[in-house]
């Protein structure tokens, strides 16, 4: 048996098994739960890298559950797949790498950050389940299976948002709100899946894509899926759960929640490109996504400027940055049926949008971790109560500057590279969109100057005399993210050529997605 053939399932199976082992380990040694979860997530990261190398050199990987061979997509004498399968292409593994890295660093950061709290075993079990569900959403080739993972992600997220304590009102309120909107989303996704199953008798994405007619029912399913997945990604005006959930969750969980929202964003792209592709009116749906992007960028950043809670402010920026991704990929979708425009600027716009997903996960993760570090030492998220912390937390200050410069799109950091791709390509589609995107970047910089001044600059304040730098594991997680931000910023071509471009092409070339499962049919 070649174990490498089982890599796609091992990436999920290991953390899933570990999630159920952790309560037992917790009975023996509470502290060991964190170390065990970190080791398993480290292993999962290594397997994800191995799978990424294989996919980028050989091509998409299939894993069929319950078949004699994991590569057997079509049972004998059948022309359509009936088993659940993972179908991991360049786009899926691109998202998988983000999930693996963010979860691993989140676990490392948690070692010190969550150390003093009760319920460590529950925390790490839920963290692992959240990671599993994100991998599942990104790897699956089956619509119902996607729904199941979406539900697991929602349940694990709700519990983790409330983790700070049921005796505190705000975390529970945030968790409850997220539970309600997630339930609505889940029911609507299930309804859309029901439409496909009733119409085509299959649940496999590639199989549906090969026969989709774009009937009135398909249009209803499309409208529902785009709307609720945009809500789960935090797009304006359905973003209001985001500041509540992001600000109340523990900092490492907030970082992972950002990646979970991006998994929903990925699902929108999978639906419009791999499922519908040019059967739909690409210009109309492209503009819907572009308008989501514009609203998210502008309203997100202007709401961020007036916030006084550091994590709420960063949450609004997360909404704003999601707008860039929607804008880039939306422009790519709008010109999908126009080969000349697609070649001239559509592919570059999509590269910018997709590259921004990775960049955003890194710098927004870093910024949330710095906010967590400030909370860890000062016990407050209120910017009005902070000041002069650069005197005591030198590493955190440096990491914050790197994250803030990256999110504002300052060279030579990674945010600049992806934003530049978006500006220069989107300009050819509609110059006004590029101008708005640049204005948003300026406002983002202004907002983070405010945070930097209020939290880090100024004289030493008497209430923070005892404050010191955060423990090493927290510094390490922030240092790794800072290194990635700088590396991606200095050598963006390496990432775009080897990871982003294949991911974009795997979305555009729908026939490759369907033929991986259905062969030459």
Partner 1 sequence: MLGLLETGSGFWSAVVWVILVLVIGSLVYYIRNKGEKSYKKNTEQDKPFISGNPELSKEGSHISASHIYWGFTEALKGYYNPLVKIHTGDINDYSGWIVIITVVILIIVGVRG
Residues that bind partner 1 (CB under 8 A): 176-177, 180-181, 184-185, 188, 216, 219-220, 222-224, 226-228, 230-231, 237-238, 240-241, 244, 280-281, 284-285, 288, 299, 302-303, 305-306, 308, 344-345, 348, 383-384, 386-388, 411-412, 416-417, 420-421, 424-425, 427-428, 446, 450-451, 453-454, 458-462, 489-494, 496
- Closer by beta carbon to partner 1, 128 or else 336: 336
**Cβ atoms within 10 A of the Cβ of 118, count?**
10
Q: Which residues contact 153 (CB under 8 A, 6 or more apart)?
A: 130, 133, 134, 137, 260, 263
CB-count exposure of residue 68 (10 Å: 0-12, 13-18, 19+):
exposed
We find the least distance from the C-beta atom of residue 413 to partner 1, in angstroms, to be: 8
We find the least distance from the C-beta atom of residue 192 to partner 1, in angstroms, to be: 11
Q: Which residues contact 1 (CB under 8 A, 6 or more apart)?
A: none
Packing angle between helix 472-490 and helix 394-407, nearest 10 degrees? 30
- Closer by beta carbon to partner 1, 85 or else 186: 186
We find the least distance from the C-beta atom of residue 121 to partner 1, in angstroms, to be: 30
Kindly list the distances between the CA atom of residue 333 and the CA atoms of 247, 299, 349, in Å, as whole numbers in the listed order: 33, 23, 10
CB-count exposure of residue 69 (10 Å: 0-12, 13-18, 19+):
exposed
Kindly list the distances between the CA atom of residue 488 and the CA atoms of 184, 208, 416, 494, in Å, as whole numbers in the listed order: 37, 37, 10, 8
- Closer by beta carbon to partner 1, 9 or else 240: 240
Separation CA 477–CA 403 (nearest Å): 13
- Closer by beta carbon to partner 1, 57 or else 216: 216
Choose among 316, 117, 131, 329: nearest CA to 229. Answer: 329
We find the least distance from the C-beta atom of residue 304 to partner 1, in angstroms, to be: 11
We find the least distance from the C-beta atom of residue 336 to partner 1, in angstroms, to be: 14
- Closer by beta carbon to partner 1, 84 or else 420: 420
- Closer by beta carbon to partner 1, 30 or else 428: 428
Packing angle between helix 414-429 and helix 431-451, nearest 10 degrees? 150
- Closer by beta carbon to partner 1, 96 or else 234: 234
We find the least distance from the C-beta atom of residue 184 to partner 1, in angstroms, to be: 6
We find the least distance from the C-beta atom of residue 374 to partner 1, in angstroms, to be: 13
């Amino acid at each position: 048996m070649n174990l490498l053939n089982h890599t796609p399932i091992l990436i999920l199976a290991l953390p899933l098994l570990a999630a159920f082992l952790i309560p037992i380990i917790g009975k023996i040694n509470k502290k060991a739960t964190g170390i065990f979860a970190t080791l398993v997530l480290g292993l999962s990261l290594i397997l994800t890298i191995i799978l990424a190398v294989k996919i980028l050199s050989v091509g998409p990987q299939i894993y069929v559950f319950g078949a004699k061979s994991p590569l057997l997509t079509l049972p004998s004498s059948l022309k359509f797949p009936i088993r659940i399968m993972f179908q991991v292409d360049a786009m899926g593994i691109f998202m998988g790498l983000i999930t693996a890295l963010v979860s691993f660093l989140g676990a490392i950061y948690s070692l010190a950050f969550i150390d003093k709290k009760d319920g460590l075993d529950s925390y790490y079990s839920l963290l692992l389940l959240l990671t599993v569900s994100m991998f599942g959403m990104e790897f699956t080739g089956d619509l119902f299976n996607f729904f199941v993972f979406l539900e697991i992600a929602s349940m694990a997220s709700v519990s983790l948002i409330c983790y700070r304590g049921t005796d505190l009102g705000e975390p529970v309120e945030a968790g409850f709100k997220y539970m309600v909107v997630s339930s609505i989303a889940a029911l609507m996704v299930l309804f859309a899946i029901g439409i496909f199953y009733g119409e085509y008798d299959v649940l496999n994405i590639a199989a549906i894509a090969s026969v989709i007619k774009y009937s009135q029912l398909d249009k209803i399913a499309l409208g529902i899926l785009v709307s609720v997945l945009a809500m789960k990604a935090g797009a304006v005006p359905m973003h209001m759960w985001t500041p509540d959930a992001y600000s109340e969750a523990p900092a490492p969980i907030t970082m992972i929640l950002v990646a979970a929202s991006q998994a929903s964003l990925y699902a929108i792209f999978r639906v419009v490109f791999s499922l519908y592709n040019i059967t739909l009116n690409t210009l109309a749906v492209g503009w819907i996504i572009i308008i989501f992007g514009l609203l998210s960028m502008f309203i997100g950043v202007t709401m961020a400027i007036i916030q006084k809670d550091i994590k709420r402010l960063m949450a609004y920026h997360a909404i704003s940055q999601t707008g860039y991704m929607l804008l880039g990929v939306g422009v790519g979708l709008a010109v999908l049926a126009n080969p000349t425009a697609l070649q001239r600027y559509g592919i570059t716009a999509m590269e910018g949008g997709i590259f921004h997903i990775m960049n955003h996960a890194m710098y927004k993760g870093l910024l949330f971790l710095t906010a967590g570090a400030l909370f860890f030492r000062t016990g407050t998220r209120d910017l009005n109560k902070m000041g002069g912390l650069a005197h005591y937390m030198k590493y955190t200050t440096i990491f914050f500057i790197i994250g803030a410069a990256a999110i504002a799109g300052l060279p030579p950091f990674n945010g600049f590279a992806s934003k530049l791709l978006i500006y220069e390509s989107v300009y050819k589609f509609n110059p006004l969109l590029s101008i708005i995107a640049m204005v948003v970047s300026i406002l983002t910089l202004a907002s983070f100057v405010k945070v930097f001044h209020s939290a880090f600059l100024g004289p030493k304040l008497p209430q923070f005399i005892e404050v010191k730098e955060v423990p090493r594991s927290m510094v390490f997680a922030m240092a790794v993210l800072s290194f990635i931000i700088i590396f991606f910023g200095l050598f963006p071509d390496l990432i775009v050529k080897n990871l982003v471009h294949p991911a974009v092409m795997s979305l555009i070339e729908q026939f490759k997605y369907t033929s991986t499962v259905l062969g030459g049919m």
